[in-house]
Chain A
C-alpha cells in the first residue's frame, strides 16, 4: 500500500493509478432513479431510441464512480482538503452495465497557496478507460493538500 501523501509528496509528471471499479446495471439504475431519471439511464428499450443507443450510466454517476476510484487510489491516504472545482470534464463514451473502469492521475503542477501557506494546490489530469481500453472520461482540476507538518487536517 502506498504511503500517506502530503502536498510535498506529489511530483510533477508522476502518474498515480486509480482503483479499478466495475459499474453494474443495478448501480446504474439506482443512481439514475435518485439523481438523473431519464429513459437512457433507466430503461433498456427506451434507451435504444436515444442518441446513446442503449442503457448507459448517467454522466454524473460515471463522475461519482471516478471520484471513488480516486479516493481508493490515493486520496483517502493523503492530506486532502478537497477541491475548489473542476476546470474541465469530458464524458467521451457512455458507461455501459458491466464496464470495468480503470485510470490514472497525472500530476501537472504543484504550488504552495499564497493565501493559505499551510496548504498547496496540486493540478491533475485524470484519464479513465473501460476494459476494452477505450477512453471514457477525462478531467483536469486541482486538489488542495495540507503541507507536511500541518496538523489542521
Chain B
C-alpha cells in the first residue's frame, strides 16, 4: 500500500464486487441484526422493503473484506517489485454512512474507494490519517452504500 506521502487525494480504486445471496444475508442478520426483513423472506415480502434485504452492517462489512483483499494485492505487488509497503493502522470511525437503497437477495454490489483527504498525525509520529469516500453500487449503478471512513496510514521512513 502507499505511504501517506504517496497517497493522492481524488484517486479512486475499484475494489471489486460481491453477490449477496439470501443464505448469506440471513446468516449475517441472524447473528447481528435479526430484524425480520433481514432474516425472514416471508416477513420481508410483507414489510415496506418488499423483499429480503441485507443488513446495512453486512454491506459495510463486505466493503471491509474487499478493501483488505485490495490491500493484500497491493502489498504483494510491492513485495514482488522490491518496494517497501506501508502499514495501515486502526480507524477512529466514520461519518455520513448512507444506505439510500436496500440490497436485495441476489444483487451484485460493486465497491469503490476514493481518497478524500490526508494529514500527518501529530499525536503519533510516523503515522497519518487518511479519509476515504467509500461507495457501493448495484447493477444499474445506483448507490446502495456510501460513507466517509478514516484510517491510519504509515509515513515513509517511519522505521516501521
Residues of A within 8 A of B (CB): 34-38, 40, 50-52, 56, 58-60, 63-65, 67-68, 71, 75-76, 80-91, 94, 152-153
Contacts and interface: CB of A to CB of B under 8 A. Distances in A.
Q: Which 5 A-B pairs have the closest CB atoms?
A: A64-B32, A86-B97, A90-B93, A85-B98, A35-B61
B47 A153 contact: yes
Contacts of B152: 51
B159 to A, nearest CB: 13
Contact of B65 (A34, A87, A94, A152): A34
A60 B64 contact: yes
B56 interface: yes
B93 A89 contact: yes
B35 A83 contact: no
B95 A71 contact: no
Contacts, number: 102
Nearest to B97: A86
Contacts of B46: 153
Interface of A is mostly: mixed
Interface in B32-65: 32-35, 37, 46-49, 55-57, 60-62, 64-65
B43 to A, nearest CB: 8
Interface of B: 28, 31-35, 37, 46-49, 55-57, 60-62, 64-65, 68, 87-100, 102, 124, 127, 147, 152
Contact of B64 (A35, A40, A153): A35
Nearest to A52: B90
A71 B38 CA distance: 12
- The B interface is mostly helix, strand or loop, or mixed, namely mixed
A32 to B, nearest CB: 9
7 contacts: A36-B61, A59-B90, A59-B91, A64-B33, A84-B98, A88-B95, A152-B47
A150 to B, nearest CB: 10
A81 B100 CA distance: 13
Nearest to B151: A59
A41 B37 CA distance: 30
B64 A58 contact: yes
A50 B89 CA distance: 7
Among A37, A75, A86, A88, max chain B CB count under 10 A is at: A86
A56 B89 CA distance: 12
A37 B34 CA distance: 24
A64 B108 CA distance: 22
Most buried by A among B55, B56, B62: B56
Contact of A152 (B31, B48, B93, B127): B48
